[in-house]
Homo-oligomer: A and B are copies of this chain.
Amino acid sequence: MRPLRADARDNRERILTAAEDVFGRSPNASTDEVAKLAEVGIATVFRHFPTKVELLEAVLTQRLERLRDRALELADSDDAGPAFFGFFSQVVAESASKLAIAEALSASGTVAGDEAKAAGQGMREAFGALLDRAQQAGAVRRDAAFPEVYALLVGASRGATATGLESDARDRMLALLYDGLRAGAGS
């Protein structure tokens, strides 16, 4: 398959950006709205993404890959504790303003499309690596296993978004959470 024509590549990009914006605001917006915002005909949207689900998955995949990349960058930092907590905070802070990230996070467990599934897997692995390193470094208690920590990440994102938490309340919420996650807190 040959490379896309320049205008096509361009439009594809614009559509993805528009979709991220539109679906970020209201997850079941119509495809027309995306086309309008991207300043493109409806047919063009469907040529690039034959089905609405595929468009949604493309947006999702993009978000998940971005999160994974950030986690991978942080994994190189030499301070494992701050890397873990910093990533956690960043994810939660962003989902407060961008509804779609929270959706994406929770959808990452139960998604049909292969690409999106792989992206979710990659992101969870990168986050798992951050967790491991933080535990090795003694910053996070060892008895906190991945599933529950990941559930807390997803949950904190959704909870903050859903209740419309102000940023200072969000920080206090995270502080409570982190106290529970730190080594030596519990039994």
Structural contact, A165 and B147, CB atoms closer than 8 A: yes
**Which of chain B's residues have a CB closer than 8 A to the CB of A148?**
165, 169-170, 172-173, 176
Contact pattern, A 109-150, Cβ under 8 Å of B = 1, otherwise 0: 110000000000000000000000000000000011101111
Interface residue tally on A, bucketed by range: 35 or more
Binds B, one of A42-50, A64-72, A152-160: A152-160
* Interface assignment of A37: CB less than 8 Å from any CB of chain B: no
Mostly, the A contact residues are helix
Structural contact, A169 and B147, CB atoms closer than 8 A: yes
Structural contact, A152 and B176, CB atoms closer than 8 A: yes
* Interface assignment of A38: CB less than 8 Å from any CB of chain B: no
CB distance from A164 to the nearest CB of B (A): 6
Structural contact, B147 and A163, CB atoms closer than 8 A: yes
CB distance from A138 to the nearest CB of B (A): 16
* Interface assignment of A177: CB less than 8 Å from any CB of chain B: yes
- Of all chain B residues, the one with the shortest Cβ separation from A156 is B155
A164 to B106, CA, bound (A): 9
* Interface assignment of A185: CB less than 8 Å from any CB of chain B: yes
* Interface assignment of A151: CB less than 8 Å from any CB of chain B: yes
- Of all chain B residues, the one with the shortest Cβ separation from A181 is B176
A169 to B150, CA, bound (A): 11
Q: Which 7 A-B pairs have the closest CB atoms?
A: A155-B159, A180-B180, A106-B162, A148-B173, A155-B155, A179-B186, A158-B158
